[in-house]
Amino acid sequence: IGVGLVGFGLFFLLFGTLLYFDSVLLAFGNLLFLSGLVFIIGFRRTFTFFFQRPKLKGTSFFFGGLIVVLMRWPILGMLLEAYGFISLFR
């Protein structure tokens, strides 16, 4: 279930980007991706991954970008999410 949710999340993120940053598709893709991540590695591991002290800056940018996308500012939200994603996984 988790791999399918992550796959659909990435598909909707790609499709939302190709359709000139459609905010509904991007928000749906983000929510599917995060829920799939929870299904794959578990809630506790996901929570501890995102909320470690050295990763709080990346987490805040990632979730801040998600909130901005949900408020229908998709380009700014995706830029914030991309910076947060890079900060989390470097």
Q: Is the pLDDT of residue 67 over 90?
A: yes
What is the Cα–Cα distance from 84 to 44, expressed in whole angstroms?
A: 20
User: pLDDT at position 90, please?
Assistant: 87
User: pLDDT at position 52, please?
Assistant: 94
Query: pLDDT tens digits for 10-61?
Result: 999 999 999 999 999 999 999 999 999 999 999 999 999 999 999 999 999 9
8 Å CB contact between 5 and 36: yes
Q: Tell me the two tokens of residue 74.
A: 């998709």
The values of phi and psi at residue 30, to 5°, are -65, -45
What is the Cα–Cα distance from 16 to 73, expressed in whole angstroms?
A: 13
pTM for this entry: 0.89
8 Å CB contact between 70 and 27: yes
Burial class (CB in 10 A: 0-12, 13-18, 19+), 81: buried
